[in-house]
Amino acid sequence: MNYSFNFSVILQNADHLIEGMLLTIRLSAMAMLFGLLIGTACAVAKLWGPRAIGLVVTSYVEFIRNTPFLVQLFVVYFGLPSLGFRMSAESAAVVGLSIYMGAYATEIVRSGIQAIPKTQIEAALCLGMHPRQVFRHVLMFPALQVVYPALTSQFVLLLLGSSVVSLISARELFHVAAFLESRTFLPFEIYLSVSLLYLGMSLCFRGLFWVAGRMMFAKV
């Protein structure tokens, strides 16, 4: 093998790679937040809402979980403008990732809620607590403790999967890497370095979530 490795391009373009990392984190964090809100609302609707709404939620979850995310993203970015809904690549990325995350969060949150014994809820109601108070204090926090590991793992998967949004020109980390590779013709150095950056982000967030979990649930 007569190949001369050149990693200097990584240092020379470190500012662009950092910008791509920050956008990746921002898109993933926003999608996680909105996806969790969607998932919580859908889980509650599926468990306690009218049957018709439950069927709609089930259809949404099954459709999203059984179709490629890339196709869903293209529907949002290229399909919705045909209906008059135009948005930037970053906005479309957040919408697509949120809808995708929401489907998985629905089942995660639902399983957490169903893991709480019904006797706890009945006891809280007997003590005179308002249903909203029961939902907030008796139901959601214990449910969050149950599903916390699954949610944090899903965030890391979302972070890694966000590289797909580069295909609609969202300028996240992988998009920056592809741009640099097309200019320098150094695919091994660039994609290896970007892989290590994704690995570093994943490990950092896993560590942060572990610390946050210990702080939130230490006294439980």
pLDDT at 46: 93
**Residue 87 region, left (φ>0) first, then alpha (ψ -120 to 50), else beta?**
beta
Per-residue pLDDT 10s for the chain (220 aa) are 677 888 999 999 999 999 999 999 999 999 999 999 999 999 999 998 999 999 999 999 999 999 999 999 999 999 999 999 999 999 999 999 999 999 999 999 999 989 888 887 778 778 778 777 777 777 888 888 999 999 999 999 999 999 999 999 999 999 999 999 999 999 999 999 999 999 999 999 999 999 999 998 876 5
pTM of the model: 0.92
pLDDT at 171: 93
pLDDT at 52: 96
Residue range 8-216, CATH number: 1.10.3720.10
pLDDT at 53: 95
What DSSP letter does each residue of 4-61 carry, written as one string? ----HHHHHTHHHHHHHHHHHHHHHHHHHHHHHHHHHHHHHHHHHS-HHHHHHHHHHH
Cβ contact 139:45 at 8 Å: no
> Quick one: which of 125, 190, 136, 174 has its CA closest to 27?
174
Tokens of 105: 């969060």
pLDDT at 119: 81
pLDDT at 219: 62
